[in-house]
Amino acid sequence: MAASQPTILATSIGFNQGPAGEEEWLAGPAYRLAVELARPRAEPRTCIIGTASGDPAHSLVRTYSALGRLGMVVTHLSLFPQPNIRDVPGHLLAQDLIWVSGGSTPNLLALWRLHGLDQILRRCWEGGVVLMGCSAGSVCWHLGGTTDGFGLPLRPVTDGLGFLPYSNSPHYDAEPERRPKFLELVASGELPAGYATDNGVGLLYKGTEMVEAVTELEGRHAYWVSRGADGGACEEVIDPRYLAP
């Protein structure tokens, strides 16, 4: 089976640290939610795409372990130094879930377009493969957002894939520049209205509608940010549904 309609879980939710420390990553309940949305026929097939962080081997190993513990059949697509999969469209279209790591949003977008992944991933999304990501893996699906991919201070990304007709800002409560920069960019019109997430919070989109916010951490929020009649930014707090461990 596949998701009942095109589905994206765009988050500020990474992996939790396990008992062994930084070398051990654990996937929380948001990842189980993504599998439920994918409605797999058997063991869920999941492909990791780590382009935004440069496909580092240590992150891949930890991500394989974290997702494998949830019973997923895990693969990955690397673009460095060349694609490690011969039939990229065929492989990605056969997945139940595609997980995209954080890192540099502008680098991710440039390389994906160079390799045609923008079009392949749109086919996956339209075909019912659930797309999930954190940070850069959240911003990329939107029209644009905030990024530290050029270094600090934060700068806007205005050429996102545009599957979702909004802007996006992750790490809203965790990085001091995120909130004021996002408010500034929406107020100026450089970014369209959009959604922001505190760390631990994700946005569930079905089609292009944001149907609910979810969180792994109590007390965290999502936000709808739009341009007000006075030319300033308006911020509406969204209370997310808590996903119990």
Catalytic-residue membership of 135: yes
40: three-class secondary structure by DSSP: coil
Which residues sit opposite 155 in a β-bridge? Answer: 147
CB 218 within 8 A of CB 201: no
- Closest of 230, 165, 170, 157 to residue 196, by C-alpha: 170
CB 204 within 8 A of CB 211: yes
Residue of 12, 59, 135, 167 marked active site: 135
User: What six digits make up the tokens of 166?
Assistant: 């909004």
106: three-class secondary structure by DSSP: helix
Catalytic-residue membership of 59: no
* Spatial separation of the C-alpha atoms in residues 239 and 218, rounded to whole Å: 10
Give the helix ranges, DSSP H, for 39-75. Answer: 57-68
Looking at the annotation, which residues are catalytic? Answer: 135, 171
